[in-house]
Structure 1
Amino acid sequence: MKAPIRHRWLQGPVPPPYRIPLLVLGFMALVIGVGAGLRRLGVDAPLPSPGLIALHGPLMVSGFFGTLISLERAVALGARWTYGGPVFAALGAATLVGGTPVWTGALLLALGSAFLVAGSLAVFLRQRAVFTATLLAGAASWLIGNLAWLAGLPFTAVVPWWAGFLVLTIAGERLELSRFLAPPAAAQRAFVGIVAMLLGGLALLAAGIDPRGFVASGALLALTLWLARYDIARRTVRETGLTRFIAVALLSGYVWLGAAAAIALAGGGLFVAPAYDATLHAVFLGFVFSMVFGHAPIILPAVTHFAVRFHRAFYLHLALLHVSLIVRLGADLAGSADWRAIGGALNAVALLAFILNTASGIWRGRLKISTPASAPNHGARA
């Protein structure tokens, strides 16, 4: 039985040209978010408004990552209604940059995350599996974090959920590909236990019951070890070209996730002083952006239908990211504000190199790829 005509327009895929503006707004949030972060470190960076300095986190997590992840999920699902996620997330970022009251941007971002939860629930109901449940938990974490921010709660109650959003999203997607290594049933049960421990730990951290975040840190360390053991990247790193680059990016990202957990467990605490900057950026920059760098040559063609031609220069922005984080975390541990600012500036250079290298890759592979309008399954990764 066909759907009523008034509902059919919600079902079909959105053509790539209509997705690109959302991608542009997401990268706008990235650029301005980076500028805001530099200003927080005392580095003179141009910003449309000084008020954006306080919005560094929301722009980076919800404006950039939220828009891109929800856009990728919408493309994978191929249903127009799921584009509410990236549309509201992109509009939320735009309103924050435009200087409207912060609550309007926070509300739009919360709506975007609600659509991602709905889309992730649709995926789970279509395919009931541990990895789809993990993706759903990640989307729910983003919604909880955005609602906490909208409610005016302090960032100590918001950041753990935003971290859960990104960590669980990545873990769920990597779990799907781990099936090629056929992890034993005990390993899969261990993964479920780790995710449950992480969610519980994040809740305890956000509520102030475990103010140092030791439970969540233990879960992050366990997740790092699990991914390092069962991720297919352990095999694909022996390949060549783009496949090897992706594997190197993933495996190096796991090092930063483990580093954040180790620093926290050693007494620094997770996302709290005195290791706030170190643990926060080890996760959000070291771990998450390593995943972004590795997956961008696959995600961007799926979303835009423009090929990204791999070049060995891609290793430059990956190496810059790691070197800059070593400088920044070293400065954090040494208590040097000046070197922390230098590390932050180098972080920005690494992200700029990523954007330029990716744009160059698109230019070199500027012939459109011949894939259907509905992109491959969201878990399709090299």
Structure 2
Amino acid sequence: MHHRPQPWTWNPPLALRFGFLVFAGVSVVTGLFAGTVKLGYLLDSPAASLAEDHGPLMAFGFVGGAIGIERAVAVRTRWAWLGPLAHALGVVTTLSGLPRLVPGVFFALSFLVLGATYLEVHRRQASFAVLTQAAGVIGGVAAALVWALGAPFAYAMPFAVVFAVATIIGERLELARISFGGVAAETTVTALTLALTASSLLFGFSAQLGFAVMGVLLVLVAVATVRVDVARHLVRSRGLPQFSAVCMLLGYLWLIVGGVIWVAFGFTETGFAFDAGVHAVFLGFVISMILAHAPIILTSVIRYTLPYHPVMYVAVALLHAGLALRLLADARSHTTLWQAGGLINVTAVIVFLLVSVSLTVRHARRRAARKTEKVPA
């Protein structure tokens, strides 16, 4: 008996997946160059005009874009791709220099579509993981709109943190099957993430109070999740599982550090304390988690395997060493060390991108060569 496919399923062509992924790639590259300008380098380059867009390009263009594409692939519906389309338009209009209201609205729309995909997944199979990720959409939409309406990105940043943290924690619940810790553990992690989302709304009314409460909850979310995450056991394994576990455990550590900084120094728009707090979360936690899950996400999106290789640890070492130096410089208000740490961070991400592309292409070529050898003459 042949079963007819469900009417909502759709498997998009590889060209479409790859095409949208390019916009996330462009965002991270231009965002890194913009960050380099903010560090005091490349001041006479074309990237200088993008300096103020560093935050939006990394948070909305890169992180938001990559997550949106991965979810569109997973949900397998045509309308879900309106999210990556809106994201692509947001990237293009940002780089084109249009008033931020235009890209901000496009990014907000991409987050709204992402939220709709979570609702669709929850309708098919309800879970704490989906609920946790859906909560992050509130932060994504709020961040995009705050930035679109003209506020400095510093005021959008806490909402962007909610999006990134809730999404990643939700994916840990989903991918790593944290349920081995029991329903109580999943309930606790989900409740803390929802509380983090609620506290971001408090930030909108009282920046200092909301920021401090968010800092406490960032610590609690990290501690509650790492206690039941399989990464604690996989770190003693080998190969890719160990690599991913190392990245994840370091990520949780930096999330705790970031939360402590938020509580200790409060909210500021600029300065060394702001730099330490935002990058402990976005570089230390978010980028670490992206490195940990990159082989899984890339394979699911473009159907090409990113195989594990020990050389991946080079980027990990650079990322965390650079971030440690950066935070030390922030603590001592030492500009030269701060610039050096930031430049090492930029180098780390570029190295990982180059390594990922190289390993993926090499694996694809070897696989094609093996297939050719098996074809009879």
TM-score, structure 1 as length reference? 0.89
Aligned to 1:365: 363
Deviation at 1:343, TM superposition (A): 0.9
Cα RMSD after superposing both structures: 2.3
Aligned to 1:38: 36
Deviation at 1:192, TM superposition (A): 3.2
AA in 2 matched with 1:85: G
AA in 2 matched with 1:13: N
Cα separation, 2, equivalents of 1:206 and 1:34:
28
Aligned to 1:84: 82
Deviation track 1:316-366 (CA, whole Å, cap 9, x = no partner) reads 101110000011111101101121111111111101110111011112211
Aligned to 2:352: 354
**Residue 160 of structure 1 is aligned with which of 158, 161, 171?**
158
Alignment of 1:46-57 (within 5 A): 48=46, 50-57=48-55
**Residue 294 of structure 1 is aligned with which of 288, 292, 295?**
292
* Residue 23 (structure 1) aligned with residue 55 (structure 2): no
Cα separation, 2, equivalents of 1:26 and 1:329:
27
- 67-76 vs 269-278, which deviates more? 269-278
Runs of at least 5 residues in structure 1 that lack an aligned partner in the other structure: 1-7, 371-382
Deviation at 1:238, TM superposition (A): 1.8
Determine helix, strand or coil for the equivalent of 1:158. Answer: helix
Task: Please say if residues 307 and 365 of structure 1, whose CA atoms lie closer than 8 Å, have aligned partners that are also in contact.
Answer: yes
Deviation at 1:133, TM superposition (A): 0.6
AA in 2 matched with 1:202: S
Aligned to 2:64: 66
AA in 2 matched with 1:275: A
Aligned to 2:231: 233
Aligned to 2:373: none
Aligned to 1:283: 281
Query: CA 1:257 to 1:84, structure 2 compared with 1: closer, same or farther past 3 Å?
Result: same
Query: CA 1:128 to 1:164, structure 2 compared with 1: closer, same or farther past 3 Å?
Result: same
Cα separation, 2, equivalents of 1:62 and 1:141:
11
AA in 2 matched with 1:191: V
Deviation at 1:56, TM superposition (A): 0.7
Deviation at 1:22, TM superposition (A): 1.2
Alignment of 1:97-246 (within 5 A): 97-177=95-175, 179=177, 182-211=180-209, 213-246=211-244
Task: Please say if residues 35 and 45 of structure 1, whose CA atoms lie closer than 8 Å, have aligned partners that are also in contact.
Answer: no
Cα separation, 1, equivalents of 2:178 and 2:40:
47
Task: Please say if residues 158 and 206 of structure 1, whose CA atoms lie closer than 8 Å, have aligned partners that are also in contact.
Answer: no
Task: Please say if residues 177 and 232 of structure 1, whose CA atoms lie closer than 8 Å, have aligned partners that are also in contact.
Answer: no
Task: Please say if residues 254 and 280 of structure 2, whose CA atoms lie closer than 8 Å, have aligned partners that are also in contact.
Answer: yes
Deviation track 1:51-91 (CA, whole Å, cap 9, x = no partner) reads 31111111111111111100000000111210111121122
Deviation at 1:153, TM superposition (A): 3.3
Task: Please say if residues 20 and 88 of structure 2, whose CA atoms lie closer than 8 Å, have aligned partners that are also in contact.
Answer: yes
AA in 2 matched with 1:166: A
Query: CA 1:178 to 1:352, structure 2 compared with 1: closer, same or farther past 3 Å?
Result: closer
Determine helix, strand or coil for the equivalent of 1:311. Answer: coil
Cα separation, 2, equivalents of 1:98 and 1:10:
35
Deviation at 1:196, TM superposition (A): 2.8
Determine helix, strand or coil for the equivalent of 1:230. Answer: coil
Determine helix, strand or coil for the equivalent of 1:101. Answer: coil
More helix by share: 2
Deviation track 1:156-189 (CA, whole Å, cap 9, x = no partner) reads 4311111000000001111234545522343333
AA in 2 matched with 1:290: S
Determine helix, strand or coil for the equivalent of 1:365. Answer: helix
Task: Please say if residues 30 and 59 of structure 1, whose CA atoms lie closer than 8 Å, have aligned partners that are also in contact.
Answer: yes
Cα separation, 2, equivalents of 1:265 and 1:157:
16
Task: Please say if residues 107 and 144 of structure 2, whose CA atoms lie closer than 8 Å, have aligned partners that are also in contact.
Answer: yes
AA in 1 matched with 2:246: V
Determine helix, strand or coil for the equivalent of 1:99. Answer: coil
Deviation track 1:107-143 (CA, whole Å, cap 9, x = no partner) reads 2111111111111111122222211111111122211
Aligned to 2:375: none
* Residue 266 (structure 1) aligned with residue 264 (structure 2): yes
Task: Please say if residues 36 and 55 of structure 1, whose CA atoms lie closer than 8 Å, have aligned partners that are also in contact.
Answer: yes
Deviation at 1:48, TM superposition (A): 3.6
AA in 2 matched with 1:20: F
Cα separation, 2, equivalents of 1:86 and 1:369:
30
Aligned to 1:374: none
Cα separation, 1, equivalents of 2:366 and 2:7:
26
Runs of at least 5 residues in structure 2 that lack an aligned partner in the other structure: 1-5, 369-377
- Higher RCO (C-alpha 8 Å, min separation 6): 1
Matched residue pairs, number? 363
AA in 2 matched with 1:160: P
Determine helix, strand or coil for the equivalent of 2:364. Answer: coil
Aligned to 1:345: 343
